[in-house]
């Protein structure tokens, strides 16, 4: 099978220097608000790329749970494959593909763990069933079969209750990706897409200083 004849031209929006913010966080916020206004499904879902100890890249979807100038938060099992990758190499990239708006955003930076209190705070706001799943799932490990997983789930769900809620386990919690680089991509007609990038100015003492440039599509 090939997809040579499946193609779409992108004509919905433009991204030009006159309209962008000097600050990539504001620019991201503006585009994220467009996703909300246009009712995109799960615009906070992002592909997270990490690299393992053998320099092999891995990518998977996670949910962005918070975004501010301090960074992007996501939550996961620290003992998972991605957790192992981040232990040996804390450089990562995330990617949002907002197809309905013909937009893509790439954000690159260093990742650090959130402190336990922040993880507990988020964990306590998750639905009970999600809390139980996080506790019993040895994420990324080989398991015998689905039945074993459901057995562990039932055991834990019976042990805890709304009067006896679980705490966030120490193997589960949040990470924060602190952006050093953003690229905003807007699909345009005839494959002449817009790409505007922001690179953090590492020489600048002011943390909010960014070099802005246009990339060829
Ligand atoms: C829409 C969507 C959202 C997801 N959100 C998360 C998430 O927030 N945290 C997480 O650990 N896994 C999430 N997953 C599952 C991951 O993609 C992945 O299967 C899991 O984290 C194990 O990845 P790893 O083995 O590379 O560590 C999500 C998957 C999808 C499709």
d(CA 46, ligand 1 centre) in Å: 10
d(CA 61, ligand 1 centre) in Å: 5
Whether 191 sits among the annotated catalytic residues: the reply is yes
> Is any atom of ligand 1 closer than 6 Å to the C-beta of 130?
no
User: Domain limits at 98?
Assistant: 17-115+172-214
The answer to whether residue 163 sits within a structural domain is no
The answer to whether residue 90 sits within a structural domain is yes
For tokens 């954000």, the residue is 107
Cβ–Cβ under 8 Å, residues 191 and 217: yes
> Is any atom of ligand 1 closer than 6 Å to the C-beta of 50?
no
Task: Please give the Cα distance from 39 to 35 (Å, whole number).
Answer: 6
Residue whose CA lies nearest to ligand 1 atom number 6: 62
6: its two tokens: 């499946």
Task: Please give the Cα distance from 145 to 210 (Å, whole number).
Answer: 50
Q: Which of 191, 195, 200, 214 is catalytic?
A: 191
For the chain, the domain total comes to 1
> Is any atom of ligand 1 closer than 6 Å to the C-beta of 172?
no
Cβ–Cβ under 8 Å, residues 31 and 196: no
pLDDT at position 181, please? 98
The answer to whether residue 141 sits within a structural domain is no
DSSP state of 164: B
The answer to whether residue 32 sits within a structural domain is yes
The answer to whether residue 127 sits within a structural domain is no
The answer to whether residue 81 sits within a structural domain is yes
Kindly report the CATH number assigned to the domain that includes residue 208.
Answer: 2.30.110.10
The answer to whether residue 125 sits within a structural domain is no
The residue whose CB lies within 8 Å of the most ligand 1 atoms, and thus the one to mutate among 63, 86, 111, 175, is 63
For tokens 């099978």, the residue is 1
The answer to whether residue 86 sits within a structural domain is yes
List all residues 6 or more positions away from 129 whose beta carbon is below 8 Å from its beta carbon: 157
- 104, β-bridge pairs: 97, 185
Going residue by residue through the chain, which has 217 residues, state the pLDDT in tens, using 9 for 90 and above.
999 999 999 999 999 999 999 999 999 999 999 999 999 999 999 999 999 999 999 999 999 999 999 999 999 999 999 999 999 999 999 999 999 999 999 999 999 999 999 999 999 999 999 999 999 999 999 999 999 999 999 999 999 988 899 999 999 999 999 999 999 999 999 999 999 999 999 776 666 799 999 999 9
Closest ligand 1 atom, residue 63 Cα: 8
pLDDT at position 162, please? 80
> Is any atom of ligand 1 closer than 6 Å to the C-beta of 60?
yes
């Amino acid at each position: 099978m090939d997809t040579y004849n499946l193609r779409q031209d992108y004509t919905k929006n433009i991204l030009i220097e006159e309209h962008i913010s000097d600050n990539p966080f504001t620019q991201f916020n503006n585009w994220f608000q467009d996703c909300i206004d246009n009712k995109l499904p799960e615009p906070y879902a992002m592909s997270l790329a990490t690299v393992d100890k053998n320099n092999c890249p891995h990518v998977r979807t996670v949910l962005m749970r918070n975004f501010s100038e301090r960074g992007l938060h996501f939550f996961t099992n620290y003992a998972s494959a991605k957790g192992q990758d981040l232990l040996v190499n804390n450089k990562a990239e995330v990617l949002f593909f907002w197809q309905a708006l013909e937009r893509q955003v790439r954000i690159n930076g260093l990742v650090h763990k959130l402190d336990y209190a922040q993880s507990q705070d988020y964990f306590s706001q998750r639905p009970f069933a999600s809390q139980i799943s996080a506790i019993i799932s040895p994420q990324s490990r080989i398991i015998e079969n689905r039945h074993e997983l459901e057995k562990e789930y039932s055991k834990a769900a019976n042990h805890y209750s709304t009067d006896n809620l679980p705490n966030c386990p120490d193997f589960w919690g949040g990470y924060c990706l602190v952006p050093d680089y953003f690229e905003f991509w807007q699909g345009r007609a005839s494959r002449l897409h817009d790409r505007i990038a922001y690179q953090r100015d590492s020489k600048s003492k002011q943390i909010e200083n960014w070099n802005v440039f246009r990339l060829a599509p």
